[in-house]
């Protein structure tokens, strides 16, 4: 379906290119990375609309990439005759028979390539060239959008005025669910796409007849009374009838009901669920695009689970899905291989992940894969106590918490280290993994992870068996029993190592809050140095 | 279904047969109907709306519009990267020696009408099949009215179309070839005018197209039919025209009118007056129509102000060149009942003179 998305000059995207997956695309990224903007841009080029409204009604100066505008203004002030900022969004479609009317070479691909596609551009209107030049005498970063025009075209250079019929697009945007009528533009669009032309005609006719019938029955006695009135207001007879104009057509009067309750009055979670299932109709035989923004909003964990399983059932045959999410649960369940990491220049897809790894995360949907995906640098540790101790050690070494330097410390909590390393490796992350030796030779333990280790980016750190099998004995070895007792506030009567084994988390917390620094065991110090770089 | 070419004389109902054909197609067939003149386009559109209004996918357009919409506009970057066709230049011509982009596009990037055929044909090849694939997916049938008016590179385009999966149906009359799309082009000169017929014969032998001919007119009187057959010499090999117009009005056939008698004649019969161009027939203050514009129209009676070569033909039998012959043929076949020709002397033709009754 959509093979490629190219965006230039639109909001955060200066130059952006993306080659989406054929079926499912899970767009993840930090806040402000452009997930929603990306969906918005694709909807613009697919439907010519934004939030259900046409471009000229919504266009504002902030649509233009700020960097480009600032450079332009600076260049013009310096007397350079650079071209004004423009916006262009291009969607390249798969070269299928039914899309051929949209096919042509009017796109920015080099070398010249013909394929079906649509593009939306916002460029200076030549009719206002003089006014625009006059404005450029004293340019400001707020572009005069009055002198701009939008053009929505297919790659055959035909101007589009309404969405081409092949490009059925369903937008599920939980933010707009709360519209005044309860049925927003997108939902009405989805409903309309569901009906066959003859069904639509039948509804329209039936609705009009019902209105006529009401005029004949309910309004008759009133009309008779008005007609018989002694003092007519006007010399011609006056009567009441139902409004038959297009303003009151059936589209605005029909609304879905859920178990007898109007759509607008059902819960927000249910509204989102209904929209999604209407949009992803199993029987829809048309090519379609479904855009879902943050399905996790408004949903309890159980309804989200139900919704996600419905989405994964329906995704595939005909539809191409774009889902933005902040939820690891959604990500894991729908398949971590569909992940697209959005940044202002591209959306990186995961190159290859073993199918059993994808399944592994699907079975453990609670695992925070999204954190792995979003972090710049990662430290993988075994459990919460390792996490707390590592953070303290790092702070003592560098004066800052790892998080302040973009380093995320993640505890594995029993998850397979190999799976996490595989994921990090395909995501191209810099990772320091730390684990206990549990009495085994560190070299043997490293052996099973060698596939994912990489000298400068992914390294595994394990303490020497001679200094202790887990974190606690290692701490005692490197700091001495006396210092440990004083940091932990353990009385000389108590057995230090037994207490430490029993109260792992408490040990970690007391170390974290201690005023005295501790000496880091070698493998933890090495891990900190590695990840700090 | 094979590709078809129907050749038929003027007034034999070519447009009507196209309209009937469209109406007979299943509703879901996607059809492009191309014509060469605006007048014809309007006539076809309105007749189709009447007879096949329930067919949503029949699109009538001029041949140039067809080439612009499906050839030049979508695929121009294959010849000139990053360029777009921004408009259409119907009148202008590129400089004689123009090369590259300036051969096809003017300074505003408007496509020259006279080079559009060549541009379109070259794009078929340069798009590596994308152009034809697109067209095949958009249309099931292509109907070409007035196929005799194709010229130069249009023939190569037609060759590509005949090899495509699109079913091509053409109607035309090579005697009416007056509108060459590019008069200056030398490409395919050998197909010009009636020789186009041989082009089709060649393709019929290869089973690419089936040709059928009809020589019966419903429009003009047998006398007119006999006269217009003489415009082309026997070496053209056109079959004689049969007329089924047996309506009589008391003034039927072809008449000669002396210049002095033009006003009385117009007063008596109110004919549509035809002339070659605005510079001819200036001596009379009459409501003239030019030969070119008259194409596709029909009238009860006409009066023709002939050109020098036409006068020579009537006077001493010197045959006209193919272009002027076609043009005179078109003019003469516009009338149902009578054709009057303004001339001083005409020995060779054996036509009778009309004189006002008081003389």
Alpha helices for A283-341 (secondary structure H): 301-314, 328-334
Backbone phi, then psi, for A288, in 5-degree steps? -150, 155
**What's residue A316's pLDDT?**
60
Q: Which residues of A fall within a CB distance of 8 Å from B73?
A: 104, 106, 156-158
Q: Which residues of A fall within a CB distance of 8 Å from B137?
A: 97-98, 100-101
Inter-chain residue contact A111 with B137, CB threshold 8 Å: no
Task: State the best of B75, B88, B120, B138 to mutate against chain A, taking most chain A CBs within 10 Å.
Answer: B75
**What's residue B326's pLDDT?**
83
Q: Tokens 């060698």 correspond to what residue?
A: A450
Inter-chain residue contact A114 with B69, CB threshold 8 Å: no
The rounded distance, in Å, linking the Cα atoms of B80 and B119 is 11
The rounded distance, in Å, linking the Cα atoms of A163 and A45 is 9
Kindly tell me if the per-residue pLDDT of A119 is higher than 60.
yes
Cβ count within 10 A of residue B234:
8
Q: Which residues of A fall within a CB distance of 8 Å from B138?
A: 100-101
Interface contacts A/B by beta carbons within 8 Å: 57
Kindly tell me if the per-residue pLDDT of A182 is higher than 80.
no
Report the gap between the CA of B66 and the closest CA in chain A (Å).
13
Inter-chain residue contact B134 with A103, CB threshold 8 Å: yes
B133 touches chain A (CB under 8 A): yes
Report the gap between the CA of B342 and the closest CA in chain A (Å).
50
**What's residue B68's pLDDT?**
97
pLDDT digits (tens, 9 = 90+) for A321-377: 899 998 888 888 888 888 888 888 888 887 778 889 889 988 888 888 888 888 889
Q: Tokens 């900190």 correspond to what residue?
A: A528
Nearest to B213 by CA among B154, B179, B245, B170: B170
pTM: 0.81
**What's residue B96's pLDDT?**
87
B134 touches chain A (CB under 8 A): yes
Structure tokens at B52: 């096949």
**What's residue B39's pLDDT?**
77
Q: Which residues of B fall within a CB distance of 8 Å from A111?
A: 81
The rounded distance, in Å, linking the Cα atoms of A138 and A133 is 10
DSSP class of residue B189? Answer: G
Task: State the best of B57, B109, B134 to mutate against chain A, taking most chain A CBs within 10 Å.
Answer: B134
Q: Which of A103, A106, A112 sits opposite B84 (nearest CB)?
A: A106
- List the beta bridge partners of residue A459: A432
DSSP class of residue A98? Answer: G
Structure tokens at B122: 């070259």
CA distance readout (Å), B149 to A483, B155, B301: 104, 10, 26
Backbone phi, then psi, for A452, in 5-degree steps? -100, -10
DSSP class of residue A283? Answer: T
Task: State the best of B137, B165, B166 to mutate against chain A, taking most chain A CBs within 10 Å.
Answer: B137
Q: Are B230 and B329 in contact (CB under 8 A)?
A: no
**What's residue B10's pLDDT?**
78
Report the gap between the CA of A524 and the closest CA in chain B (Å).
57
Inter-chain residue contact A156 with B134, CB threshold 8 Å: yes
**What's residue A74's pLDDT?**
93
Inter-chain residue contact B127 with A114, CB threshold 8 Å: yes
CA-based radius of gyration for chain B:
22
**What's residue A198's pLDDT?**
81
- Residues within 8 A of B (CB atoms), A 86-105 only: 97-98, 100-101, 103-105
Task: State the best of A114, A119, A156 to mutate against chain B, taking most chain B CBs within 10 Å.
Answer: A114
Structure tokens at A412: 């594995």
The rounded distance, in Å, linking the Cα atoms of B199 and B202 is 5
**What's residue B196's pLDDT?**
73
**CATH code, residues B4-214:** 3.40.50.300
What's the gap between Cα A322 and its chain centre? 8
The rounded distance, in Å, linking the Cα atoms of A145 and A123 is 9
pLDDT digits (tens, 9 = 90+) for B309-353: 999 999 988 988 877 888 899 899 999 999 999 999 888 888 899
The answer to which of A268-272, A434-438, B330-334 has the lowest mean pLDDT is: A268-272
Kindly tell me if the per-residue pLDDT of B180 is higher than 70.
no
Residue of B nearest to A116 (CA): B134
- Residues within 8 A of A (CB atoms), B 111-130 only: 127-128, 130
Q: Are B298 and B219 in contact (CB under 8 A)?
A: yes
Q: Which of B76, B81, B133 sits opposite A100 (nearest CB)?
A: B133
Confidence tier at A250 by pLDDT (50, 70, 90):
confident
Confidence tier at B185 by pLDDT (50, 70, 90):
very low
Give the angle subtended at the CA of B201 by the CAs of B197 and B204, to the nearest 5°.
140
**What's residue B147's pLDDT?**
87
The rounded distance, in Å, linking the Cα atoms of A175 and A86 is 28
Percent of chain B topping pLDDT 90: 58
Q: Tokens 């939902």 correspond to what residue?
A: A187
Confidence tier at A233 by pLDDT (50, 70, 90):
low
Q: Which of B75, B136, B137 sits opposite A104 (nearest CB)?
A: B75
> Sign (positive/negative) of CA torsion A88, A92, A93, A97?
positive
The rounded distance, in Å, linking the Cα atoms of A137 and A76 is 8
Confidence tier at A186 by pLDDT (50, 70, 90):
low
The rounded distance, in Å, linking the Cα atoms of B147 and B169 is 10
Q: Which of A98, A106, A108 sits opposite B74 (nearest CB)?
A: A106
Kindly tell me if the per-residue pLDDT of A300 is higher than 50.
yes
Give the three-class secondary structure for A410.
strand
Q: Are A408 and A391 in contact (CB under 8 A)?
A: no
Confidence tier at B187 by pLDDT (50, 70, 90):
very low
User: Which residues belong to CATH 3.40.50.300 in chain B?
Assistant: 4-214, 222-354
pLDDT digits (tens, 9 = 90+) for A452-499: 998 889 999 999 999 999 999 999 999 999 999 999 998 888 899 899
Report the gap between the CA of A377 and the closest CA in chain B (Å).
42
**What's residue B108's pLDDT?**
94
Kindly tell me if the per-residue pLDDT of A177 is higher than 50.
no
CA distance readout (Å), A156 to A101, A153, A221, B111, B129: 7, 8, 60, 16, 15
Confidence tier at B15 by pLDDT (50, 70, 90):
confident
Report the gap between the CA of A102 and the closest CA in chain B (Å).
9
A30 touches chain B (CB under 8 A): no
Task: State the best of A94, A103, A119 to mutate against chain B, taking most chain B CBs within 10 Å.
Answer: A103
Kindly state the average pLDDT of the residues A34-56.
Answer: 90
Kindly tell me if the per-residue pLDDT of B4 is higher than 80.
yes
Q: Tokens 């005498």 correspond to what residue?
A: A137
- Residues within 8 A of A (CB atoms), B 43-72 only: 69-70
Q: Which of B73, B81, B133 sits opposite A156 (nearest CB)?
A: B73
Higher local confidence (pLDDT), A65 or A138: A65
Mean pLDDT over the full length of chain A: 86
**What's residue B357's pLDDT?**
81
Give the H/E segment covering residue A511: helix A504-513
Q: Which residues of A fall within a CB distance of 8 Å from B131?
A: 114
CA distance readout (Å), A475 to A220, A296, A469, A472: 93, 42, 11, 5
Give the three-class secondary structure for A196.
coil
Kindly tell me if the per-residue pLDDT of B272 is higher than 70.
yes
Kindly tell me if the per-residue pLDDT of A181 is higher than 60.
no
Report the gap between the CA of B47 and the closest CA in chain A (Å).
26
Q: Which residues of B fall within a CB distance of 8 Å from A104?
A: 73-75, 134
The rounded distance, in Å, linking the Cα atoms of B127 and B109 is 20
B181 touches chain A (CB under 8 A): no
Alpha helices for chain B (secondary structure H): 14-24, 38-51, 63-67, 73-75, 101-104, 113-126, 130-138, 154-162, 196-205, 222-231, 262-269, 291-294, 308-316, 322-332
Beta strands B352-354 and A2-10 are unpaired
Cis preceding linkage at A111, omega within 30:
yes
Kindly tell me if the per-residue pLDDT of B127 is higher than 90.
yes
Q: Which residues of A fall within a CB distance of 8 Å from B133?
A: 100, 103
Confidence tier at A125 by pLDDT (50, 70, 90):
very high
pLDDT digits (tens, 9 = 90+) for B202-247: 899 999 999 988 888 989 999 999 999 999 877 777 788 999 999 9
Cβ count within 10 A of residue A401:
13
Kindly tell me if the per-residue pLDDT of A37 is higher than 50.
yes
Task: State the best of A93, A105, A113 to mutate against chain B, taking most chain B CBs within 10 Å.
Answer: A105
Dihedral angle, C-alpha A120, A126, A131, A133, nearest 10 °: 90
Residue of B nearest to A101 (CA): B138
Q: Which residues of A fall within a CB distance of 8 Å from B85?
A: 157
Inter-chain residue contact B137 with A157, CB threshold 8 Å: no
Dihedral angle, C-alpha A384, A389, A391, A396, nearest 10 °: 170
Mean pLDDT over the full length of chain B: 88
Confidence tier at A46 by pLDDT (50, 70, 90):
very high
Kindly state the average pLDDT of the residues A422-439.
Answer: 91
**What's residue A478's pLDDT?**
94
A166 touches chain B (CB under 8 A): no
Structure tokens at A130: 């003089």
**What's residue B178's pLDDT?**
53
Kindly state the average pLDDT of the residues A425-433.
Answer: 90
The rounded distance, in Å, linking the Cα atoms of A360 and A354 is 10
Phi-psi region of B46 (alpha: psi -120 to 50; beta: other; left: phi over 0): alpha
- List the beta bridge partners of residue B89: B112
The answer to which of A151-155, A225-229, A380-384, B203-207 has the lowest mean pLDDT is: A225-229
The rounded distance, in Å, linking the Cα atoms of A299 and A503 is 37
**What's residue B112's pLDDT?**
95
DSSP class of residue B194? Answer: G
**What's residue A105's pLDDT?**
96
**What's residue B84's pLDDT?**
95
A123 touches chain B (CB under 8 A): no
Q: Which of A101, A108, A157 sits opposite B138 (nearest CB)?
A: A101
B84 touches chain A (CB under 8 A): yes
Higher local confidence (pLDDT), B235 or B265: B265
Higher local confidence (pLDDT), B288 or A313: B288
Residues 6+ apart with CB under 8 A from B248: none
Higher local confidence (pLDDT), B324 or B62: B62
Give the three-class secondary structure for B156.
helix
Residues 6+ apart with CB under 8 A from B278: B288, B290
pLDDT digits (tens, 9 = 90+) for A197-214: 788 888 888 888 888 888
**What's residue A266's pLDDT?**
72
pLDDT digits (tens, 9 = 90+) for B76-122: 999 999 999 999 999 999 998 889 999 999 999 999 999 999 999 99
Kindly tell me if the per-residue pLDDT of B59 is higher than 70.
yes
**What's residue B184's pLDDT?**
47
Tell me how far apart the 2 most distant CA atoms of chain A are, in Å: 112
Report the gap between the CA of B352 and the closest CA in chain A (Å).
58
Give the angle subtended at the CA of A384 by the CAs of A379 and A388, to the nearest 5°.
70
The rounded distance, in Å, linking the Cα atoms of A287 and A319 is 6
The answer to which of A163-177, A483-497, B137-151 has the lowest mean pLDDT is: A163-177
Q: Are A43 and A169 in contact (CB under 8 A)?
A: yes
Inter-chain residue contact A114 with B81, CB threshold 8 Å: no
Given the cut 0.85, state whether the ipTM is greater than it: no
- List the beta bridge partners of residue A168: A288
Inter-chain residue contact A157 with B74, CB threshold 8 Å: yes
The DSSP secondary structure of A235-295, one letter per residue, reads SS--------SGGG-HHHH---EETTEEGGGS-HHHHHHHHHHHHT-TT--S-EEEEEE-T
Nearest to A350 by CA among A358, A364, A338: A338
Class for domain B222-354, per CATH? alpha beta
Nearest to A295 by CA among A266, A271, A265, A262: A271
């Amino acid at each position: 379906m959509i093979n490629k998305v190219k965006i230039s000059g639109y909001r955060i995207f200066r130059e952006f290119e993306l080659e989406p997956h054929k079926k499912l695309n899970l767009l993840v990224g930090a806040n402000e990375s452009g997930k929603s903007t990306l969906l918005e841009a694709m909807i613009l080029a697919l439907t010519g609309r934004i939030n259900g409204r046409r471009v000229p009604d919504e266009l504002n100066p902030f649509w233009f990439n700020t960097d480009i505008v600032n450079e332009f203004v600076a260049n013009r002030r310096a007397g350079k005759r650079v071209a004004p900022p423009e916006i262009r969004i291009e969607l390249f479609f798969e070269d299928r028979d039914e899309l051929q009317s949209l096919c042509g070479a009017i796109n920015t691909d080099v070398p010249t390539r013909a394929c079906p596609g649509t593009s939306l551009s916002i460029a200076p209107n030549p009719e206002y060239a003089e006014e625009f030049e006059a404005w450029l005498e004293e340019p400001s970063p707020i572009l005069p959008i009055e002198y701009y025009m939008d053009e929505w075209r297919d790659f055959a250079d035909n101007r589009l005025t309404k969405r081409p019929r092949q490009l059925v697009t369903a937008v599920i945007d939980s933010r707009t669910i709360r519209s005044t009528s309860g049925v927003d533009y997108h939902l009405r669009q989805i409903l309309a796409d569901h009906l066959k032309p003859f069904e639509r005609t039948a509804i329209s006719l039936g609705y009009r007849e019902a209105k006529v019938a009401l005029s004949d029955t309910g309004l008759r006695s009133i009309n008779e009374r008005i007609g018989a009135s002694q003092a007519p207001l006007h010399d011609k007879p006056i009567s009441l009838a139902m409004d038959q104009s297009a303003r009151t057509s059936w589209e605005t009067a029909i609304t879905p009901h859920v178990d007898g309750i109007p759509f607008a009055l059902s819960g927000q979670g249910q509204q989102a669920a209904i929209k999604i299932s209407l949009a992803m109709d199993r029987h829809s035989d048309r090519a379609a695009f479904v855009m879902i923004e943050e399905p996790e909003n408004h949903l309890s964990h159980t309804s989200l689970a139900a919704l996600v399983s419905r989405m994964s059932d329906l995704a595939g045959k005909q539809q191409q899905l774009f889902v933005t999410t902040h939820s690891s649960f959604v990500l894991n369940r729908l398949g971590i291989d569909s992940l697209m990491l959005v940044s202002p220049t591209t959306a990186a897809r995961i190159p290859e992940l073993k199918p059993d790894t994808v399944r592994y995360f699907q079975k453990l949907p609670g695992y925070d894969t999204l954190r792995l995906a979003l972090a710049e640098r990662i430290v993988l540790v075994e459990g919460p106590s390792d996490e707390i101790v590592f953070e303290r050690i790092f702070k003592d070494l560098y004066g800052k918490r790892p998080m302040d330097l973009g380093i995320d410390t993640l505890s594995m909590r029993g998850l397979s280290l190999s799976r996490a390393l595989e994921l990090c490796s395909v995501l191209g992350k810099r990772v320091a993994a730390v684990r206990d030796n549990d009495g085994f030779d560190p070299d043997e333990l490293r052996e099973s992870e060698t596939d994912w280790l990489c000298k400068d980016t992914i390294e595994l750190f394990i303490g020497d068996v001679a200094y202790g099998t887990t974190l606690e004995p290692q701490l005692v070895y490197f700091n001495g029993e006396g210092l440990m007792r004083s940091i932990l506030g353990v009385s000389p009567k108590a057995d230090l190592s037994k207490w430490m084994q029993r109260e792992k988390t408490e040990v970690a917390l007391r170390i974290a809050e201690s005023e005295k620094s501790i000496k880091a065991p070698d493998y933890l110090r090495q891990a900190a140095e590695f990840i700090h770089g | 279904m094979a590709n078809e070419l129907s050749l038929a004389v003027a007034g034999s109902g070519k447009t009507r047969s196209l309209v009937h054909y469209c109406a007979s197609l299943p509703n879901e067939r996607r059809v492009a109907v191309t014509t060469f003149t605006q007048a014809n386009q309007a006539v076809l559109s309105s007749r189709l709306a009447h007879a096949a209004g329930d067919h949503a996918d029949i699109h009538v357009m001029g041949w140039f519009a067809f080439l612009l919409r499906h050839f030049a506009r979508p695929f121009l970057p294959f010849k000139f990267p990053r360029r777009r066709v921004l408009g259409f230049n119907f009148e202008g011509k590129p400089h004689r020696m123009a090369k590259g982009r300036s051969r096809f596009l003017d300074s505003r990037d408007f496509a020259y009408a006279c080079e559009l055929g060549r541009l379109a044909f070259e794009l078929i090849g340069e798009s590596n099949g994308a152009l034809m694939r697109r067209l095949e997916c958009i249309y099931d049938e292509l109907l070409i009215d007035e196929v005799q008016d194709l010229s130069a590179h249009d023939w190569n385009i037609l060759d590509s179309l005949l090899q495509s999966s699109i079913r091509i149906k053409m109607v035309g009359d090579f005697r009416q070839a007056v509108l060459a799309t590019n008069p200056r082009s030398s490409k395919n000169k050998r197909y010009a005018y009636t020789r186009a017929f041989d082009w089709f014969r060649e393709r019929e032998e290869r089973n690419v197209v089936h040709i059928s001919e009809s020589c019966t007119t419903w429009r003009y009187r047998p006398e007119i039919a006999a006269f217009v057959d003489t415009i082309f010499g026997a070496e053209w090999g056109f079959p004689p025209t049969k007329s089924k117009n047996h309506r009589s009005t008391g003034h039927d056939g072809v008449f000669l009118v002396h210049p002095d008698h033009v006003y009385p004649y117009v007063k008596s019969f109110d004919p549509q007056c035809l002339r070659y161009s605005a510079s001819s027939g200036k001596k009379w203050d009459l409501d003239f129509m030019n030969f070119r514009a008259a194409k596709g129209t029909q009238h009860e009676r006409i009066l023709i102000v002939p050109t020098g070569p036409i006068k020579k033909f009537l006077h001493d039998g010197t045959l006209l060149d193919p272009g002027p012959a076609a043009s005179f043929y078109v003019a003469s076949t516009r009338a149902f009942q009578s054709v009057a020709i303004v001339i001083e002397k005409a020995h060779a033709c054996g036509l009778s003179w009309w004189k006002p009754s008081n003389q």
